[in-house]
Structure 1
């Protein structure tokens, strides 16, 4: 007898309630170190397969990279679906509890806020060394010698960009397919972070992973920009007039087809400028600027970025309510 499928229908009211509970669980607990995290296991599989498959002529590496993306993403979905199905035979409540936990592992609202505040707190206290160390834990750029404005910029950009990867995109895919599809998205995101970036080693092997991640984030990134703007209507001090047009104009300047949308929106809402010159391993890497610098970036802007982050995912969930109710009514 085959396992029963998970109980939650896409865009159902019961699934939306479970997702909201998962968000609360993430906000309360974050990612406890003692609890095994699915992304860690996914990363280990990717690393092992990359070592075994990333060799030979470019065409062979490209083909194996496509197999890697299909195997990791499809395997993650199938494993999660099977586990939930088996647990449903044992006890429906056990399956629900497991899906709640799995959904929470795909979210990073608390972790993102904590990482940003780890930069903001010492920066506010004038401890530049501690702020630089904290920022170096979440960005790839060089942080040595950065002043308050540049440290704040790095933290604000991290919060804005990862609002999509760490919160709203998992919510989007969870609404369509529960924990299995949300975990498949996290597998896509992990593939991109490990093998999708541009370098001689991954240029061919990681192409499929990078393109898949771009596709998975395309709609969530743009919806997130919209929900950040909607949240700003209720956040005092926001410069929300005209920022939709500014964001649409500026977002394509970003080297990523998706990251520019939340970054440009946050920059325009706060009246600051993001982007500019970064250094990686001592090498300069100029980026297009986003936003108009009405204000100089300070530690206080990091907390404002966190406020927009929370407002953005909350508006994201609230926008799902009428869609869910419409579906329930039609059915």
Structure 2
């Protein structure tokens, strides 16, 4: 069947290149969100319904319920996206590829991440610490009242680094590997982890499978993100590719997350900062290792530098995908 072609390279790379370009230019329009919602919100509703029905009983039955919920979630997402791929193929190969790219553009979040992090820097400059705390609370889960200005800036930069990995590079990687279905399955796993993958009495057993699978599917992207940030630093001024490499080698493995340390260490080393470290979520203090050995007193100018590095890394990712698509079309068929 012709639709199967659209789930394999070079078509998946073409879908990815177009999706990244569309999302960078337009993002996910607010009007569309208000009218239809977003794939993540649709997935979230399904996860919430599955959790209400299956998260009960002993820890063992909760863990089994979580495995069943995750399986049902992924089966549903796969069925819907493979169906959409089949329908797109009926419109013709070239047009179908464009249709899938438009759908896939809802999965990475290059534009919205830039906007939300830039808002923190702008709020600190115009509204002071209260405005910065409000803006950063939109993108991080820690208690904003516990943050001074330097901590607000570090939190924004850490969020930029980590979300570059799991919000952009990871969905891009899985779109490139499996088209719309690959990217949507990744997004479902990542959303499940963010909703139920917490070590709390309610979710520790039920969310176990989602948390473990999320660690696995984010592993390649976290390493790729670190490499993109190193390469972007080598192409940029006022940042250090060598510092990023040193920080990754020394600190990435010390992070409590098996993946988040890679982009955070790369960003910290490139900017000459210290990121991560102890922080407070709600009323709970989390002890974590510092990433990087630079100054901890980050400021709004550092957020601006981080955003410039991020944009260069995004442009580099697109260039590599587009070049890969061209090479595959030239030599791979």
TM-score, L = length of structure 2: 0.92
User: 2:265 aligns to what?
Assistant: 264
User: 1:43 aligns to what?
Assistant: 44
SS of corresponding position for 1:201 = coil
In 1, Cα distance between the equivalents of 2:294 and 2:238? 15
User: 2:3 aligns to what?
Assistant: 5
Greater CA drift, 294-303 or 46-55:
294-303
SS of corresponding position for 1:125 = helix
Q: 1:17 to 1:88 in 2, by over 3 A?
A: closer
In 1, Cα distance between the equivalents of 2:72 and 2:316? 34
Greater CA drift, 126-135 or 51-60:
126-135
8 Å CA contact 1:253, 1:260 repeated in 2: yes
User: 1:313: how far off?
Assistant: 3.0
Q: 1:121 to 1:322 in 2, by over 3 A?
A: closer
User: 1:138 aligns to what?
Assistant: 139
In 1, Cα distance between the equivalents of 2:152 and 2:273? 14
User: 1:224 aligns to what?
Assistant: 225
Match of 2:18 among 14, 17, 21: 21
Q: Could you list the runs of 5+ residues in structure 1 that have no partner in the other structure?
A: none
User: 1:258: how far off?
Assistant: 0.3
In 2, Cα distance between the equivalents of 1:322 and 1:296? 39
In 2, Cα distance between the equivalents of 1:142 and 1:185? 28
Moved over 6 A (4+): none
Q: 1:101 to 1:222 in 2, by over 3 A?
A: same
Q: 1:279 to 1:231 in 2, by over 3 A?
A: same
SS of corresponding position for 1:279 = strand
SS of corresponding position for 2:105 = helix
1:142-153 maps to which residues of 2 (within 5 A)? 142-153=143-154
In 1, Cα distance between the equivalents of 2:278 and 2:295? 19
Deviations 1:284-306 (A, max 9, x none): 22221110124731011112222
User: 1:109: how far off?
Assistant: 0.6
User: 1:85: how far off?
Assistant: 0.5
8 Å CA contact 1:228, 1:266 repeated in 2: yes
Q: 1:108 to 1:330 in 2, by over 3 A?
A: closer
Number of residue pairs the alignment of both structures matches: 328
In 1, Cα distance between the equivalents of 2:286 and 2:317? 33
In 2, Cα distance between the equivalents of 1:280 and 1:116? 19
SS of corresponding position for 2:286 = strand
Bigger fraction of residues in helix: 2
User: 1:105 aligns to what?
Assistant: 106
In 2, Cα distance between the equivalents of 1:25 and 1:280? 35
User: 2:252 aligns to what?
Assistant: 251
1:316-327 maps to which residues of 2 (within 5 A)? 316-320=317-321, 324=325, 325=327
Deviations 1:26-56 (A, max 9, x none): 1222222332311111100000000000001
8 Å CA contact 1:11, 1:327 repeated in 2: no
TM-score, L = length of structure 1: 0.92
Q: Could you list the runs of 5+ residues in structure 2 that have no partner in the other structure?
A: none
1:1-331 maps to which residues of 2 (within 5 A)? 5=3, 7-8=5-6, 10-12=8-10, 14-35=11-32, 36=36, 37-90=38-91, 92=93, 95-294=96-295, 296-320=297-321, 324=325, 325=327, 329-331=331-333
In 2, Cα distance between the equivalents of 1:17 and 1:88? 14
In 2, Cα distance between the equivalents of 1:188 and 1:229? 27
8 Å CA contact 2:244, 2:267 repeated in 1: no
In 2, Cα distance between the equivalents of 1:282 and 1:86? 49
Q: 1:21 to 1:321 in 2, by over 3 A?
A: closer
